[in-house]
């Protein structure tokens, strides 16, 4: 009977070896994680600050930099687009303006007057095809980006419009 107490059964031996294997694997994984962390911290460097060539911090007079004082607003259109993408009709009343360089104000106003129908069509298109989540964004970033793209196509110049503004947007309908 003394021999029975000293010797473990094969089932107990397997259980003990499985626990030992799991423990060894866990310790190896923890050690590997710590080693990778220490290695990346020792090899990594702080990111260098990016400065445009020829422009230092606070240098707003660099070539291609337009300040707020050099921009002017031009109202393009006021319209009442609708959207039915969610399955429910949503009506909008929007006023759309753009920021342009001060020297481009008159040409933009003339082109906007001459291309009024195209501008209204593009605004209607963007609102009609927009997802409900884009129409509910706090700053309407997606709608403004799409409008800028469409206006760039109408005016034929990607650099003319600096920013699209939607100073007034009222919506009515369910789901909004």
153 vs 115: CA distance, rounded Å? 12
Burial (CB count within 10 angstroms: exposed 0-12, middle 13-18, buried 19+), residue 62:
exposed
Which pLDDT belongs to residue 137? Answer: 87
How much is the pLDDT for 48? 60
Q: How far apart are CA 82 and CA 130, in angstroms?
A: 10
Architecture of the structural domain at 68-172? 2-Layer Sandwich (3.30)
Q: Is 8 exposed, middle or buried (0-12, 13-18, 19+ CB in 10 A)?
A: exposed
In this structure, the dihedral spanned by the alpha carbons of residues 122, 123, 127 and 130, taken in order and rounded to 10 degrees, is 50
Q: What is the per-residue pLDDT for 70?
A: 87
Of the candidates 84, 81, 82, 108, the residue with the CA atom closest to the CA atom of residue 97: 108
Q: Is the pTM of this model over 0.85?
A: no
83, 90 contact by CB (below 8 A): yes
Other CB atoms within 10 Å distance of the CB of residue 147: 25
Residue extents of the structural domains in the chain: 2-43, 68-172
pLDDT at position 136, please?
86
Full pLDDT tens readout for the chain, 176 residues: 455 555 556 556 566 788 899 999 999 999 999 988 888 887 766 666 655 555 555 555 545 555 667 899 999 989 999 888 888 888 999 999 999 999 999 999 999 999 999 999 999 999 999 998 888 888 999 999 999 999 999 999 888 999 999 998 888 876 55
In sequence order, the β-bridge partners of residue 164 are 98
């Amino acid at each position: 009977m003394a021999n029975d107490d000293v010797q473990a059964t094969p089932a107990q031996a397997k259980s003990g070896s499985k626990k030992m294997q799991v423990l060894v694997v866990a310790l190896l994984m923890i050690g590997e994680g710590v080693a990778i962390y220490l290695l990346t911290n020792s090899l990594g460097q702080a990111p260098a600050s990016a400065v445009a060539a020829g422009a230092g911090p606070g240098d707003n007079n660099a070539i291609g930099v337009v300040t707020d004082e050099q921009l002017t607003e031009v109202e393009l259109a006021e319209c009442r687009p609708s959207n039915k993408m969610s399955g429910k009709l949503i009506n909008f009343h929007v006023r759309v303006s753009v920021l342009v360089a001060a020297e481009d104000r008159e040409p933009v106003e003339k082109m906007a007057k001459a291309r009024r129908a195209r501008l209204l069509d593009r605004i209607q298109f963007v609102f009609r095809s927009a997802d409900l989540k884009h129409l509910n964004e706090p700053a309407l970033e997606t709608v403004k980006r799409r409008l800028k793209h469409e206006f760039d196509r109408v005016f034929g110049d990607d650099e003319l419009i600096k920013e699209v503004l939607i100073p007034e947007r009222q919506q009515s309908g369910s789901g909004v």
